[in-house]
């Protein structure tokens, strides 16, 4: 489940990294994005995916035959070949829906601007936003990347809250518009704007439902596909752990956290690069993945508002269809 961020008492000790220049983040949707050694996402590709995909989807040739017989539970779906920019399949791709823990991908990107992978974060006195048992003891010290991995792999709301607090003071100094105490959330929304994610915004850092009627984050299937493509191409090391089944994380002072990946089918997706689950009462079941169908040939697939189990069966079908479509095209 995604979760709501609750104010944490006491500062979190962090190791600062040099602030990036503002130019680094302006016009991020037009950056040259590199996939591995040879695949790249150019500004023309992003323009094609973001602005030209609607026209492409209007053509019957956009829907590849392997997708035609699919029956999916998801309300919204988007599948794109990142090597060519071609939309393989889309369904309600611009409908704005609750994101649940898919929001944690944007959180990881924002936090990474403030915390180097080996920065030391001291966990402050806190309670968990969703009332779950604490897994990060007060006062323990962790490398920032371990906390990011823990948060993404376990879809931990507690981890999201600790990370947001740890990065807040640094982000408030980097971005003068961001007020201390809410700088991480501000940067998440600012980055969405810079990337051109027009249907995406965040009300908290984790995506946890704020109430029975108010979700914590919203976005479209197309927006999330773009977000995943950006994350995997600009910060691949930050998301490597999401392709693994589980891990034991250890703090610098001996605390241990054992996690199992919330993605139940990651072992069934050949060439998995990254993935993230999300599930709340309002969001239903969400899942986004990037996987390789060949050397340096990544595909992104996103399902929103499926069921808790349906998101996995939906993704199995989409991965198989995408592999078949690309194989037939060659």
What's the pLDDT score for residue 58? 44
Which residue is associated with the tokens 């806190």? 126
Q: Which of 135, 170, 237 is nearest to 14 (CA)?
A: 170
Whether 90 has a pLDDT exceeding 70, the answer reads yes
pLDDT band at 194 (very low <50, low <70, confident <90, very high): very high
Beta-bridged to residue 121, according to DSSP, are: 142
Task: Determine the Cα–Cα distance for residues 29 and 330; give it in Å rounded to an integer.
Answer: 29
Over residues 213-255, the pLDDT tens digits come to: 999 999 999 999 999 999 999 999 999 999 999 899 999 999 9
In the three-class reduction of DSSP (H, G, I as helix; E, B as strand; rest coil), residue 120 is classed as strand
Q: How far apart are CA 104 and CA 278, in angstroms?
A: 9
Q: What is the largest CA-CA distance in the chain?
A: 59
Other C-beta atoms lying within 10 Å of the C-beta of residue 313 = 18
Q: What is the pLDDT of residues 22-47, one digit of tens each?
A: 444 333 333 334 343 334 443 444 45
* Across 10-26, average pLDDT: 41
Q: Which two tokens stand for residue 272?
A: 């998995």
Q: Which two tokens stand for residue 35?
A: 């996939």
Structural domains in the chain, CATH included, are 34-329 (3.40.710.10)
Name the nearest CA neighbour of 87 among 323, 324, 277, 322: 322
Identify the residue with better confidence: 9 or 172: 172
DSSP three-state, residue 123: coil
């Amino acid at each position: 489940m995604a979760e709501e961020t609750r104010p944490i008492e006491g500062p979190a000790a962090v190791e600062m990294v040099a602030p990036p220049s503002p130019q680094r983040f302006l016009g991020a949707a037009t950056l040259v994005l590199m996939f591995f050694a040879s695949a790249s996402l150019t500004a023309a590709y992003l323009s094609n995916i973001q602005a030209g995909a609607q026209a492409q989807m209007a053509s019957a040739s956009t829907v590849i035959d392997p997708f035609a017989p699919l029956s999916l539970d998801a309300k919204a779906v988007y599948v794109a070949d990142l090597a060519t920019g071609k939309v393989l399949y889309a369904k309600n791709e611009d409908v704005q829906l609750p994101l649940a823990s898919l929001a944690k991908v944007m959180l990881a990107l924002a936090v990474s601007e403030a915390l180097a992978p080996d920065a030391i974060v001291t966990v402050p006195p806190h309670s968990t936003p969703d009332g779950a048992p604490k897994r990060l003891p007060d006062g323990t010290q962790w490398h920032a990347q371990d906390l990011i991995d823990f948060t993404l792999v376990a879809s931990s709301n507690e981890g999201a809250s600790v990370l947001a607090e740890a990065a807040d003071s640094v982000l408030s100094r980097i971005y003068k518009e961001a007020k201390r105490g809410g700088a991480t959330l501000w940067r998440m929304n600012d980055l969405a704007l810079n990337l051109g994610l027009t249907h995406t915004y965040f009300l908290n850092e984790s995506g946890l439902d704020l109430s029975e009627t108010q979700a914590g984050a919203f976005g479209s299937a197309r927006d999330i596909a773009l977000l995943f493509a950006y994350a995997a191409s600009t910060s691949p090391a930050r998301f490597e752990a999401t392709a693994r089944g589980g891990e034991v994380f250890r703090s610098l002072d001996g605390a241990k956290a054992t996690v199992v990946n919330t993605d139940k089918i990651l072992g069934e997706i050949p060439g998995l690069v990254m993935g993230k689950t999300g599930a709340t009462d309002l969001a239903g079941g969400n899942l986004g993945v990037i996987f390789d169908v060949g050397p340096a040939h990544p595909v992104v697939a996103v399902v929103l508002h499926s069921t808790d189990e349906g998101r996995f069966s939906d993704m199995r079908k989409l991965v198989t269809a995408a592999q078949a479509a690309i194989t037939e095209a060659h």
